[in-house]
Amino acid sequence: MDSVTLEPVRAAGSPCALLNGPGSAQQHAGTRAGPLGCVPLSHQVAGHKYGVDKVGILQHPDGTVLKQLQPPPRGPRELQFYSTVYAKDCCDPCLLELQQHLPKYYSTWSSPDSPTELYLKLEDVTRRFQKPCIMDVKIGQRSYDPFASQEKREQQIRKYPLMEEIGFLLLGMRVYNVGLDSFDTYDQHYGRGLMKDTVKDGLCKFFYNGDRLRRDVITASVAKVQSILRWFEKQRQLNFYASSLLFVYEGLPSAPEDKPGTLSLQKNKGVLEYNNNIEQSLSTMYTLHKSHHPSTQDNSAWHDLLTPSDACEQETRVQELPEVEVRMIDFAHVFPSEVHDHGYIYGLRNLLKVLQQILDD
């Protein structure tokens, strides 16, 4: 397997994740307009906000997402990651498989008025959804990378002491309430308030639409996360820190209410056309979140997962499930490695365990 040339540079800190409430980002004080018809993304559940933070995210008129490059070393490292994975001459089967789990990377972009202000031009994975429900989950056992200072490590541990045991952290989410025709939002403070005995209920809120629990969406999400887990169990060339999973599903009902446990759903026969109104197109958060550190800790109490037969059965039935996106995001802290990414694997397994518990209840 070809090696990836990602240099392990000391990582700098980043601002805390933010939650932008309903309404246009341009309505918030201090927000400035973007270049060349680009507009600040209005509905971010975590990450940097354009015009408020030093870096931020924009929506390009063509429907792509522009993530402003962060200061060195974070920004150049993320650019190097995307450029390596999406290189035209890439022949590494590991990286080619990884592409299906990431937002598509198109190129770098800059405005003629500010040619030195560089952006990553990325796929907006929410584009085809009318009422996108979105959740950002940080994956890993620790919220700092191996190059963080002792002060930074202690700071991150204080923010969420359970990260090492639970293996993931809910950074933010918004869920469409079908009865009220509005979105319920939950920020990083909500996620950091979840304890070991309440994290299942916290995640459950993402799949409850005010009328019923979307078991079909949970089942589809499980299949997607399992696919990402299989990639991590095979690869030994990259370790991911400050990385998250982005979950997206359609909140607008498209089929009659299903009986409990039923997987087969009718597809929405209507064409989900992209609404250029920023209020309708929920942006994604391709931004920095500190995450984990490789660990060989057993924590066997968290390791009861779906059996391989269950996984195979779910994959064969995935075509019956609703459209769900689960993508890896935030790559400012990706480093070369020769061992499995134990911290990320641990977090994925525990997240799968909790999702399965929600289904079983």
Question: Three-state SS string across 74-110, please?
Answer: HHHHHHHHHHHHCCCCCCCHHHHHHHHHCCCEEEEEE
Stretch 59-82: mean pLDDT: 94
Q: What is the pLDDT of residue 43?
A: 52
How far, in whole angstroms, is CA 161 from its chain's centroid?
21
Q: What is the pLDDT of residue 253?
A: 87
Is residue 298 scored above 60 in pLDDT? no
Are 58 and 66 within 8 A, CB to CB? yes
Closest CA to 17 of 43, 38, 48, 40: 48
Torsion of CA 122, 127, 133, 134, to 10 degrees: 0
- Total H helices, total E strands in the chain: 9, 12
Are 209 and 37 within 8 A, CB to CB? no
Q: Which of 5-19, 238-252, 309-323 reaches the highest mean pLDDT?
A: 238-252
Are 226 and 352 within 8 A, CB to CB? yes
Q: Is the peptide bond before 336 cis (omega within 30 degrees of 0)?
A: no
Q: What is the pLDDT of residue 142?
A: 81
Is residue 296 scored above 70 in pLDDT? no
Q: What is the pLDDT of residue 144?
A: 85
Is residue 218 scored above 70 in pLDDT? yes
pLDDT band, very low/low/confident/very high, at 6 (cuts 50, 70, 90): low
Spell out a b/e string for 201-215, using b for 16 or more CB atoms within 10 Å of the CB, else e.
Answer: ebbbebbebeeebbb
Q: What is the pLDDT of residue 292?
A: 37
Q: What is the pLDDT of residue 26?
A: 35
Closest CA to 62 of 119, 19, 102, 20: 119
Phi-psi region of 60 (alpha: psi -120 to 50; beta: other; left: phi over 0): beta
Sorted by sequence, the CB contacts under 8 Å of residue 246 that are 6+ apart come out as 125, 134, 135, 136, 284, 285, 325, 326, 327, 328, 329
- Average pLDDT value for the chain: 78
Q: What is the pLDDT of residue 255?
A: 58
pLDDT band, very low/low/confident/very high, at 39 (cuts 50, 70, 90): confident
Is residue 50 scored above 90 in pLDDT? no
pLDDT band, very low/low/confident/very high, at 220 (cuts 50, 70, 90): very high
Stretch 135-153: mean pLDDT: 91
pLDDT band, very low/low/confident/very high, at 181 (cuts 50, 70, 90): very high
Closest CA to 224 of 254, 249, 251: 249
Phi-psi region of 308 (alpha: psi -120 to 50; beta: other; left: phi over 0): alpha
pTM of the model: 0.74
Flag the least confident range among 23-27, 131-135, 144-148.
23-27
**pLDDT higher at 341 or 156:** 341
Give the pair of three-digit tokens for residue 182.
């509005």
- In the chain the first and final C-alpha atoms are separated, in Å, by 42
Are 39 and 32 within 8 A, CB to CB? no
Are 323 and 214 within 8 A, CB to CB? no
Are 245 and 171 within 8 A, CB to CB? no
Flag the least confident range among 48-57, 191-200, 337-346.
48-57
Quote the CA–CA distance of 126 and 33 in Å, as a whole number.
22
